[in-house]
Amino acid sequence: MKLYLTYFFILIFGLSFAQNKDKEKEQQLALENAKNYVYEGNELIDADNYINAEMEYRKAIDKAPSVVAGSYNLGNTYYEKGNYDEALYRHTEAAKNATSKDEKYRAYHNIGNVLMKEELCKEAVEAYKNALRNNPTDDETRYNLALAKECAAQQQQEQDKEEEKNDEDKENEEKNEDKKEDEKKEDPKDEGDQDKKEGEDEKNEDGKPKDEKDQGKGDKKDDKKEEGKPKPQPGQLSPQQIKNLLEAMNNNEQKVQEKINAEKQKGAKVKTEKDW
């Protein structure tokens, strides 16, 4: 029984060992194929054939994600051509798939360079810090980090000034609005004009203030009473004046006539009864 058990364990161990060997061979083959794809991609890059080169680099990543040379080399090529967005994407991909500190250090260093080209200094500072975490001895990364910090500080100052200016402009605008409101409250011009307008409405055609409603009604009645009478024209007597004048003249004429008759009666001779 023990012999059978021993033979059984030996068989299982042999199968596991064989499977591990096959797996190692597959991984080794995948790495070799990935390196070949990277090599083909590099050749295509030298020929300025970026589309096919990217295809070869992608094949390398699919075969062996740990082989970051494809993304890394393609990112460098885009960087040299000035395509910084694509370069940033490829180097970020390389940093994600990197398994060794050296690969991570190189990827983050190049990410910092791309961010500096894009004037994203604050983000570049963090990229260079990540590079130094994986390789603290690199002087070039330290130098770039110092430049990135200085650039980030300058950008922060400019941003603070801009925000301060915006705050001042907003404050001045609010003050001007408050001042206009105060002036509007203190200036009775509008109310005075309104009162003046109402006062003008209460004046009649001669410029005199109108009376109350009852008086206005009385004036209207007086106007109706005078409507039937002819209005005298300038330089002429009214009918009433003419009538009064004629009556006065008749009275005077009557008095004169009476006076004449009295004088005649006074000077007349008295007739006798004798004849001539």
Q: Give me the torsion for CA of 256, 258, 264, 266, rounded to 10°.
A: -120
SS3 for 25-42 is HHHHHHHHHHHHHHHHHH
Q: Which residue has the tokens 């705050």?
A: 167
Q: What single-letter amino acid sits at 93?
A: E
Instruction: With a cut of 60, say whether residue 220 has pLDDT above it.
Output: no
Residue 268 pLDDT level (bands cut at 50, 70, 90): very low
Instruction: With a cut of 70, say whether residue 77 has pLDDT above it.
Output: yes
Give the whole-number percent of the chain exceeding pLDDT 90: 30
| Better pLDDT: 194 or 125 | 125
Q: What is the pLDDT of residue 271?
A: 35
Residues with Cβ within 8 Å of 122's Cβ and at least 6 positions away in sequence, in order, are: 152, 155, 156
Instruction: With a cut of 70, say whether residue 196 has pLDDT above it.
Output: no
Q: For 273, list phi and psi in degrees, rounded to 5.
A: -95, -5
Region 183-194: mean pLDDT is 62
| Better pLDDT: 76 or 268 | 76
Region 74-88: mean pLDDT is 91
Q: Could you tell me what percentage of the chain is helix, strand and coil, using 3-state DSSP and rounding each to the nearest 5?
A: 80, 0, 20
pTM, two decimal places: 0.54
Q: What is the pLDDT of residues 24-68, one digit of tens each?
A: 777 788 888 888 999 999 899 888 888 898 889 888 888 887 788
Q: What is the pLDDT of residue 183?
A: 76
